[in-house]
Amino acid sequence: MQPCKIAVLITTHQRAGMLLDLLAQLSEQSREYTIYPIIAIDGPQPGYDVVLKYLETGFQHHSLLVNAENGGKARYWELINLIFAEAQRMNEIYSFDYFIQLPDDISIAPDFFNEAIHQFRAIADPRVICLNLLNDGRTQTGWTRIQPKDVSYSRYGFIRTGWVDMCYISTSRFFEQLHYKIKPVNLNWSADPARSSGVGMQISKRLTAQGYNMYMVFYSLVDHGTHTSQMHPQHRKEVPLVAKIKQPRDKVTAGMATIPGREKSLRDAVNSIINQVDELIITLNGHQSIPDCLKHEKIKVISDPGNSRGDAAKFAILGAQGYLFTLDDDLIYPSDYIAVMIAKIDFYSRKALICHHGRFFHNFPVKSYYHSPARIVRCTDQNHKDQVLHIPGTGVSGWHSSTLPHLAINHFYIPNMSDIWMGIYCKINQVQVIGCEHKKYWIQENSAYDRKGAIYARYNRNDAFQTLSINSIEWMQ
């Protein structure tokens, strides 16, 4: 299989040193890819001989262009046409998989190419045309008057912007729809020091008019820094361009409770999740010995011979700080489970409980917890979109400790009703329960356990107390 081919377009002016640093970063991260730098210098200027030498030694395929004269911001569109024409010529030769355009004064995030490609490919929108790689916190409407909107695909959050800046990833479709050409920008616009070059505005309007959508990453994959801007020196002094950078991840703690007879399904559940967490706290309800699969440096075992808390024992994680997850011993979790959950928790600004199973009752009071009409999200079936629920399935739930800072084990009043108590607690504390989109069988139920011991099997025909508990608070406020 041939490596993915990526054209990297960079316009530059009086920044040979910064450009060299950027090229070194691109080279360092190019092991899995074939990178084709296409660089356009805005007019003849000293200092770029060393850039050419670096390109010749560091990249098998490259192109270095020099504009006839410095056009600056007022004639930036001419420089873009120069680099677009070269991109078209090289694409006819090499058939690039992706195009990335970058300014010359940024640094790229670790694993930049993987993240940019994976996030761009994750956007399940047939009309997506590009993904902006810099998020500087702007939320206002842009040149197209489209109101930016938070959206999520797979494990990633995005902003559908309605505009493109000149730092993006795309395929050749982006350029083909523009015919690899920017129309001349009126000098009354581009020569105004307070205005943009007009290039991004033109691209945004033309692509929007053709029905295409433009997105922006939730967390920047590039960092602009605070140096002087060549194109907007005064404006950048007044309004610095500060990238929204993803901070180091908080600790991940997960909890699970298990009963005798589920040793095989427990082992499968543990094996599916152990490499995704920092700590796994497992409560043994009624066990006489510790199963071998729990002898792991990440696992903390709590023994409860009397099974005093039932399924609520999975909440032994309470008190830990960071991302908290409650799991079931009869499920097999996908390899990206925690990553997807964290992305969703952050997407909802750490103000919601995230789950992949639960129910939303159509009417209150309910006549039967298990049998009254309800919209049910099942973790093993497909859920096409995020939706608000009343009751979460706590075997597939996660939240940040700051979301429910006062939740304690004594809020689970009766054993084996943790889903209900969690839903009630969230409602009382005005925390939304979000049942998130997922594909069928993304989470799998393990067949290696006796379903007769499951909570549903024991209570679905005798749910009077569950029903009474649900009706104990006002849900329709």
DSSP annotation of 16 reads H
Mean pLDDT of the chain: 90
Name the least confident of 59-63, 298-302, 400-404, 446-450.
Answer: 446-450
DSSP readout, 69-91? S--TTTTHHHHHHHHHHHHHHHH
pLDDT recorded at residue 235: 44
Q: Does the pLDDT of residue 389 top 90, yes or no? A: yes
pLDDT recorded at residue 321: 96
Mean per-residue pLDDT, 176-193: 90
The predicted-structure confidence for 329-361, as pLDDT tens digits, reads as follows 999 999 889 988 998 998 898 999 999 999 999
pLDDT recorded at residue 451: 63
**Pick from 103, 196, 115, 200: nearest CA to 158:** 115
Name residues whose C-beta falls within 8 Å of residue 91's C-beta, 6 or more positions apart in sequence.
Answer: 7, 172, 175
Of 379 and 194, the one with more pLDDT: 379
The predicted-structure confidence for 393-440, as pLDDT tens digits, reads as follows 999 999 999 999 999 999 998 888 999 999 999 999 999 999 999 999
Query: What is the rounded distance in angstroms from the CA atom of residue 140 to the CA atom of residue 339?
Result: 29
pLDDT recorded at residue 238: 45
pLDDT recorded at residue 27: 93
Residue 231's pLDDT band (boundaries 50, 70, 90)? low
Mean per-residue pLDDT, 64-84: 95
**Pick from 80, 117, 84, 130: nearest CA to 6:** 117
Domains and CATH numbers, the chain: 4-238 (3.90.550.10), 252-471 (3.90.550.10)
The predicted-structure confidence for 92-133, as pLDDT tens digits, reads as follows 999 999 999 999 999 999 889 999 999 999 999 999 999 999
Q: Are 138 and 214 in contact (CB under 8 A)?
A: no
pLDDT recorded at residue 236: 43
Mean per-residue pLDDT, 191-198: 81
Q: Does the pLDDT of residue 57 top 50, yes or no? A: yes
| Length of the chain in terms of residues written | 477
Percent of the chain with pLDDT over 90: 72
Q: Are 127 and 212 in contact (CB under 8 A)?
A: yes
Q: Does the pLDDT of residue 457 top 70, yes or no? A: no
Mean per-residue pLDDT, 238-260: 75
Name residues whose C-beta falls within 8 Å of residue 443's C-beta, 6 or more positions apart in sequence.
Answer: 331, 332, 333, 334, 337, 356, 379, 380, 396
The predicted-structure confidence for 274-308, as pLDDT tens digits, reads as follows 989 999 999 999 888 899 899 899 999 999 988 88
Place of tokens 């901070």: 247
* Cross-strand pairs, 399: 324
pLDDT recorded at residue 227: 46
Mean per-residue pLDDT, 168-180: 98
Strands 107-108 and 98-103: unpaired
User: Which helix (H) or strand (E) is 475 found in, with range?
Assistant: none
